[in-house]
Structure 1
């Protein structure tokens, strides 16, 4: 088994697409699911397949992200460069943080238009991509 993608319900599809494309996602396709509702499938250009789905159901109640969801983590190559690019696009990433100390990962946080939190992570040199069992031994 493997995780296919994360799916977020969004209030304003155009505003959310603007945010996620400025973050670097590319649109793979759309599915009309009736009554004005749509799914938009996204991925980063270097990913082999979809990693994020935006679900827009205009007839539903407003999105409430405060009931259990915490955040999405995204690995970046150069956090300072990414933060600069995102700032220029008006996305306002938070300050550079070192949650594991000066030798650990660098992080910055931002929030999408519906309140979903996103953690940007740059691993230190020599670190493998993603989290592995070695992180916890």
Structure 2
């Protein structure tokens, strides 16, 4: 059943130990720009935007609850990873020149989609980021076999 309420994607809120470092990471590697800063009672929240995608950054002094590895934590109720598409994973990694910690890959998924390749890296707070090339949706005919 679908709802008649119109909803659109809004944002992902991320807790980060170093607000400035995390903002610089998403600006440098994924093209985000600062869209809004909200401050009250000594608390600063930074909104970053790339196209229609927003990240909301909250400073925290808490230690991470989950160790991040591979393609992200498998715990229920916890986001596994964030994901971005790039024209070429190899070009992305070449530009990074070892500056990004790789948690898994790069791996090729030719069995599923010709040209689909993915690598997983981590942000300054250990959030796993999937960086892929070549993903495409299945056709309605292909999807119907899973009904």
- Normalising by structure 2, we get a TM-score of 0.69
Contact 1:99 1:105 in 2 (8 A): yes
Deviations 1:28-55 (A, max 9, x none): 22111323x21111122xx1x4421111
Higher strand share: 2
Structure 1 segments of 4+ aligned residues over 4 angstroms from their partners: 131-135
- 2:92 and 2:49 mapped to 1: Cα distance? 17
Consecutive unaligned residues of structure 2, counting only runs of 5 or more, are: 1-6, 68-74
Contact 1:74 1:119 in 2 (8 A): yes
1:72 aligns with 2:82: yes
Contact 1:65 1:114 in 2 (8 A): no
Instruction: Sort the Cα spacing of 1:70 and 1:123 in 2 relative to 1 into closer, same or farther, 3 A.
Output: same
Instruction: Sort the Cα spacing of 1:52 and 1:65 in 2 relative to 1 into closer, same or farther, 3 A.
Output: farther
Contact 1:9 1:63 in 2 (8 A): no
> Which residue matches 2:100?
91
Give 1:63 deviation, angstroms. 3.8
Consecutive unaligned residues of structure 1, counting only runs of 5 or more, are: none
> Which residue matches 1:14?
20
Contact 1:73 1:121 in 2 (8 A): yes
Contact 1:42 1:51 in 2 (8 A): yes
> Which residue matches 1:62?
63
- 1:77 and 1:2 mapped to 2: Cα distance? 25
Q: Which moved more, 1:109-118 or 1:78-87?
A: 78-87
Q: Look at both structures and tell me which one has the larger radius of gyration over its CA atoms.
A: 2
Task: Indicate the RMSD between aligned Cα atoms, in angstroms.
Answer: 2.6
How many residues are matched?
A: 125
- Normalising by structure 1, we get a TM-score of 0.74
